[in-house]
Structure 1
């Protein structure tokens, strides 16, 4: 009986310690963007966009993934191929915010930064607060978003 209780306690402690590590975080988004930027600089545009768009590739971690725009806001890479080639900068979020346009503005004026907006969470199907880290790398904008 003691072994069973000890095993349950160890399991609970492990679960408690590991769960926060599994949550999406701002640090994870920044790390993934920096990794993507290095890959782009090493491998070039074509290979980078192909890998960024690979839904089973190294730039997708659970629900967190890299996507990229050109400097006008046209989608260059995304795990959902239907979005590639589209410019949705004039499509607002649920509160009317032109967040994709802000991605471009932040990248062009600051080089990098965070943009907050409302977006449908694919897990909950609810409109939730999302924040995306954007970074201008040469002639593209590399992004990674997380739900808050």
Structure 2
């Protein structure tokens, strides 16, 4: 009985790790989908579709955003007030300039993940968030996932 309880406990502890991996895969897939759309239809078409909240680019787990290399937000399906603005100087809840890090690393590495803490619009709470990004031509495609408190 102790053995079974140990297995159940181990499975319960591993479940959040599996969920995080699944969410990360969803973010990567979203960015890849955006890159494929960009290649096929062009930058302006992608920006239009993301800003129009096309369900192809918005899911319950994540959504695609498009940022210019200077930091100007070109497309954002969940917060249209950010479109056309450059929020690079604005930090996360801990003072981290995460947008600057995304831009700098996109230009030097091409792609990667950046961790920060940000308001989750679904919960209204400041939570850990990771954003996957890929530089594609003169834009950065991004999709983030919330990781809880």
After superposition, residues 87-106 of structure 1 pair within 5 angstroms as 87-106=86-105
| Offset, 1:54 | 2.2
**Does the CA contact (< 8 Å) of 1:24 and 1:146 recur in 2?**
no
TM-score normalised by L of structure 2:
0.81
TM-score normalised by L of structure 1:
0.82
Tell me, what secondary structure is at the counterpart of 1:64?
Answer: coil
Tell me, what secondary structure is at the counterpart of 1:61?
Answer: coil
Aligned to 2:43: 45
**Does the CA contact (< 8 Å) of 2:65 and 2:141 recur in 1?**
yes
Aligned-residue Cα RMSD (Å) equals 1.6
For 2:69 and 2:145, the matched residues in 1 are separated by 22
Which one has the largest radius of gyration?
A: 1
**Does the CA contact (< 8 Å) of 1:30 and 1:144 recur in 2?**
yes
1:112-135 deviation digits (Å, cap 9, x = unpaired) = 000000001112211110000010
Aligned to 1:143: 142
**Does the CA contact (< 8 Å) of 1:24 and 1:64 recur in 2?**
no
- Give unpaired runs (5+ residues) of structure 1: 1-19
- Give unpaired runs (5+ residues) of structure 2: 1-17
For 2:61 and 2:71, the matched residues in 1 are separated by 22
